[in-house]
Amino acid sequence: MTNIVVVGNGMVGYKFCASLLKQTQEQQPDGGRLRLTVFGEEPRPAYDRVHLSRYFSGTPADELAMAPATWYADNGIDLRTSTCITHIDREARTVTTHTGEVVNYDALVLATGSAPFVPPVTGVQKDGIFVYRTIEDLEAMTAWGNRATKAVVIGGGLLGLEAAKAALDMGLETHVVEFAPRLMPRQLDAAGGEMLRRKIESLGIGIHLNKNTAEFLGYDCVTGLRFADDSVLETDMVVISAGIKPRDELARQSGLAVGPRGGIVVNDYLQTSDPNIFAIGECALHNSMIYGLVAPGYDMATVVARQLTSGRGGVKFTGFDLSTKLKLIGVDVASFGDPFCEQTPHRTLLFEDMLTGVYKRLNISPDGKQLLGGILVGEAESYNMLLQACKNRVVLPETPEDLLMPPRKGDSTPALAGVMSLPDEAIICSCEGISKAIVCTAVTGQELTDVAALKKCTKAGTGCGGCIPMLNDLISETLKEQGKFVRKVLCEHFDHTRQELYDLVRINGETTYADVLAHYGHGTGCEVCKPAVASILASIHNDLIARQATVQDTNDRFLANIQRGGTYSVVPRVAGGEITADKLIALGVVARKYDLYCKITGGQRIDLFGARVDQLPLIWDELIAAGFESGHAYGKALRTVKSCVGSAWCRFGVQDSVGFAIEIEERYKGLRAPHKLKGGVSGCVRECAEAQSKDFGIIATEKGWNLYVCGNGGAKPQHAQLLASDIDRETCIRYLDCFLMFYVKTAEPLTRTATWLNKLEGGMAYLKSVVIDDVLGLNAQFEADMQHVVNTYQCEWKSVVDNDTLRSQYRHFVNTSDTDDTLAFVTNERGQKQPTNWLND
């Protein structure tokens, strides 16, 4: 039995455990040959620190977990959370916990990571000053941020800008202070740093460069920063993200060799000065280098796992490429290879577009044949292929400047050969060390057709996610080489994709599901194709969806959401969240008359729960008389356009967000789509309407409006991406018309805009070319189609109320008008009714 002890359960510690399991399973060892014990200081298992800022966007801590606690137990790993190792006895080969427990080891792996570097500045202990490292740090920041108004982040590197995004997500006025003369000084040159500064400042974040903090002001709580030049920046919250320092205190205490500036010294086998002790991740100093990225730590974890299972003296760690691509506060930033080439002969190619905020630098060999490195700011679509060209020494084209530019119109020849031209050993996913050969073999051998399946099979793309576009290309090209073409047909009853069916119906004009099935399908249909076809018909003709009741689910059939207990909710439209006192009174009268539960929704309107199906037309009748109409809360349609109070009331507002939100919601109300749509309009960059978490979001600027698209909240939140900036209202609406109709025509069933964009070939760059540049030549048609939707709008509730045939469908039993006497309710502790919890009865 070999006892292996791991100190540290961060991402790298977890990766070591996973790699060790994989190695032992591949070698089919006799059961029980290894005993693995893992100690972690934090109260939870390892979680994803790379995407820590998602916590502020609503992602629960559990969803950030690398694996649940049960995974460790199921694999025979003894995980001890909330446990510190205080002593290593190298002679006895034991570690001692803070509770005094002594555990033996044959091999010890130190994965203690790093701690935030906190500069020794006077007043740093004051309340309101935080570091940005753990979920507990984020929880403390959130609690303090609820009462703060202004946050200052010290540090303009990767972590600092992530922390600034977190502060911005909390709705705080945000500033970044950097000691160096530019942002991200380790990744960007002066011009790239300047472009990044401009982009970030345009989002409302203040940038202060060449600033050395001398003192934190305030008594108990921080009130400001005084810099070495005696200037002062007032604030009531500070986040320090000025770098990291390796956690090497255990190594120092036990007499292991450490570097002069910290870090546990390791050799190429990742052994410390004690051959039975290894160090991996940010605590390890290899060839005088501390690696602050997760991918090198993963590589180290794999090397040590192989050392311990295959015999020492085999595989080595020889260093790691620090190329990286990130999206910082919505801005693409990437550097690869040697971004500066300070010591290497080279030629430099530059592209700079101040209007769009794009900067690109490529360093090539003097003979122009090899790519040595580069920097990308504002647009990094070509990062993956440029990185592979650099790492695999791909011969460049005769005109390497073409690498800086997108393909010209009509030019089908890319500047670089495609992904299939890369050698088999090319590493596509650096986080997991997955090569092109592994990906292609998995696609052919396991008959995989999408990235989701590839992730499960190989783990490729499960780290930072930067390789996903290239994985998509590899899957597509590998399938093409096999003579396969993957078409996502609607279901077994239709041999067409949704887009193909949409085009057929639009051209030939079918108006019922029966006609569509007869002309283009076979069989009797199913629960997949029926609502999808009904949605297509509604999107094209904008006819009353209730007429397609036989192929709809319950919600669309009765134009209301069925709730627990069998009752329905009624959600009238409150455009932009603006409502009169008379309408508020009318809602109260209706709620009291029909004994309905009242709840203000997250989309700024009022939800009335507990209506019987036979009561729905009666309730709608009264609400319509009061000036309300259907809010489409039941449909795959526009739900709400949320707004702040804007310049009408707010002292920070620069545009009329309420008026614009109402105009937008009135325009697109009733628009049927592959999935629900939500919008938001904020009157300034403080973003109180949370527009960047919506399918489309509009944020006011001094010059007009910034238009963001393809975000969503919910279980998998994703920030919207900037489509156009500083545009006027008319242009914004025109772009929205084209964007929404392009989505409606091309998305798969039940696909949100965020997922649609993630799957769209060419991504945001292609979407901009369609919507803004009209490369498809369809924008006039898109605008005409949207105008048809606007012109033919009808309130679905009123259409039912005014139609005796449709109204007669609203009863619980098909053969009698009796009501359902089995509905049961209770009164909750707040005096509101709710359904009886039958699960507990």
Residues placed in the known binding site: 644, 650, 684, 688
Per the structure block, which two tokens stand in for 240?
């320090």
Query: Which strand ranges, in their side-by-side order, compose the sheet holding 561-562?
Result: 561-562, 568-570, 606-611, 597-600
- 830: burial class by Cβ within 10 Å (0-12, 13-18, 19+)? exposed
Stretch (H or E) spanning 74:
helix 69-74
Helix axes 498-508, 529-541, angle to 10 degrees: 50
Give the span between the Cα atoms of 322 and 332, in whole angstroms.
Answer: 17
Cβ-contact 696, 740 below 8 angstroms: yes
Q: Annotated binding residues for siroheme, as ranges?
A: 688
User: 776-784 long-range contacts, Cβ below 8 Å, gap at least 24?
Assistant: 778/742, 779/734, 779/738, 782/737, 782/738, 782/741, 782/742, 783/734, 783/737, 783/738, 783/741
Provide CB contacts within 8 A for 780, sequence distance 6+.
none
CA 331, chain centre distance (Å)? 13
Provide CB contacts within 8 A for 740, sequence distance 6+.
668, 671, 673, 677, 696, 786
Per the structure block, which two tokens stand in for 733?
């609406």
Stretch (H or E) spanning 800:
helix 796-801
Backbone angles phi, psi at 674, to 5 degrees: -60, -25
Bridge partners, residue 285, by sequence: 265
Cβ-contact 664, 698 below 8 angstroms: yes
Provide CB contacts within 8 A for 154, sequence distance 6+.
119, 160, 177, 213, 225, 238, 239, 240, 241, 242
Provide CB contacts within 8 A for 391, sequence distance 6+.
321, 323, 337, 426, 427
Give the ranges where 727-778 is alpha helix by DSSP (H): 729-746, 753-759, 763-771
Give the span between the Cα atoms of 540 and 266, in whole angstroms.
Answer: 65
Between the two ends of the chain, the Cα-to-Cα distance in Å is 52
Give the span between the Cα atoms of 756 and 308, in whole angstroms.
Answer: 44
Q: Annotated binding residues for [4Fe-4S] cluster, as ranges?
A: 644, 650, 684, 688
Cβ-contact 368, 400 below 8 angstroms: yes
Residue type, 803: N
